């Protein structure tokens, strides 16, 4: 599907509004979104979306979150170039958590690691599983 400028669109506006109406946002108007690399299955990060972030993600096919610290839309990769291209948008039984299957460019984590979940507990303490990418 293409919009009037010829750019591809991920989903038509009418369906996007149906999905937004079905999702359950918390008292702050946010819903958690877990992202997973679509082919490897690697869980990359967890961030939050508001209705505008969901709308933009589903319209453009590029993942947009809501930054709680900056209180504005956070187009993932807007400064780093490490964008997340949306492959599939899923949500859970209670419609209060999103699972994004994506294709990640570069590092998902702001520490420049491939994913954010690099702390692992071991019998003698916490280890870091990865180092920042070169």
Which residues contribute to the site for its own copies (CB under 8 A)? 1, 11-12, 15, 18-19, 22, 32, 34, 36, 40-43, 45-46, 58, 88-95, 97, 99, 109-111, 113, 116-126, 129
Least separation in angstroms between residue 103's CB and its own copies is: 16
Can you say how many angstroms the Cα of residue 114 is from the centroid of all Cα atoms in its chain?
14
Least separation in angstroms between residue 24's CB and its own copies is: 12
Least separation in angstroms between residue 134's CB and its own copies is: 18
49 or 109: whose CB is closer to its own copies? 109
Structure token pair of residue 133: 């990418």
Least separation in angstroms between residue 3's CB and its own copies is: 13
Structure token pair of residue 125: 């303490």
Judge residue 130's burial from the number of C-beta atoms within 10 Å of its C-beta, 0-12 exposed, 13-18 middle, 19 or more buried.
Answer: middle
Contacts of 38 (CB under 8 A, 6+ apart): 87, 88, 101, 102, 103
4 or 121: whose CB is closer to its own copies? 121
Rounded CA separation 52/38 (Å): 24
């Amino acid at each position: 599907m293409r919009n009037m400028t010829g750019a591809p669109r991920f989903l038509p506006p009418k369906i996007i509004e149906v999905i937004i109406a079905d999702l359950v946002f918390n008292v702050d108007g946010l819903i958690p979104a877990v992202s997973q690399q679509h082919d490897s299955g690697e869980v990359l990060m967890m961030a939050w979306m508001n209705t505008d972030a969901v709308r933009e993600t589903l319209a453009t096919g590029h993942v947009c979150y809501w930054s709680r610290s900056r209180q504005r839309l956070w187009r993932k990769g807007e400064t780093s170039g490490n964008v997340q291209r949306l492959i599939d948008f899923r949500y859970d039984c209670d419609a209060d958590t999103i699972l994004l299957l994506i294709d990640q460019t570069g590092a998902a984590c702001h520490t420049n690691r491939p994913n954010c979940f690099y702390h692992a507990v071991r019998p003698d303490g916490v280890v870091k599983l990865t180092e920042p990418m070169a």
